[in-house]
Structure 1
Amino acid sequence: MNPEQLKLAVQHFSELPDPRTNRGLNQPLINVIVIALCAVLSDADSFYDMEDFGELKRDWLSSFLDLHTGIPSHDTFNRVFARLDPTHFQACVLDW
């Protein structure tokens, strides 16, 4: 993805409601979503792959995401996507 597409992704997905409780907010939702999208577009097919992608591309990702809390773990990707409202997520994808 080029920088403009990434900015649009951040913009569209920042409207996505965060389904997590206060206890599970260590990682910003936008980081989880954008890293997952980039990973899947790069052929990731598991939550482990998403975590690995994030670690490998940390420098690049940090050019447009605030990664002060690090890269989300595979468990974080799993928990977030299990709780996301699919209708809201689909609307964000279609708008993007």
Structure 2
Amino acid sequence: SGYKKTTEKAHGQIEIREYYQTEETAWIYQKKQWKGLKSIGMEKKTIRRGETEKEEYRYYISSLCEDIELFSRAVRGHWAVESMHWHLDVTFKEDANTTLDKTAAQNQNIIRKWCLSMLKLIEIRGTKMSLRRKRFNISFAPAQFIEELMKI
């Protein structure tokens, strides 16, 4: 069985991630229904902020052979993609998009991702502003923010 532990400081908190992976899957009920199942894994995430501590557990079935480095990167990559989709929906209401033309919808998605990356680069002095709020503020004075982006 594979095991990996990482510790990171981020956003004023300490995040400890423990990854477990095993190919021992014989005990899984109805294993045959999971075509290509080669391993199972778990991520235990412990978040420490001051005196408080919170634990989260996520479980995975996988077609990967046991390789804890690859498994941990796949887990982190999956949640990075989920986070980006969440930001796109909250900031641009992407899930409400009803564009039927496939090419137009793809182009809009690319533009929203590009805008999201620019919003993350823009610092509005003295404020911790959500991306949605930044988007709203920029709509009133776009030239000012374009100048700021060009300096980066």
Q: Bigger radius of gyration, 1 or 2?
A: 2
| Larger helix proportion of the pair | 1
- Larger relative contact order (CA 8 Å, sep ≥ 6): 1
| Larger strand proportion of the pair | 2
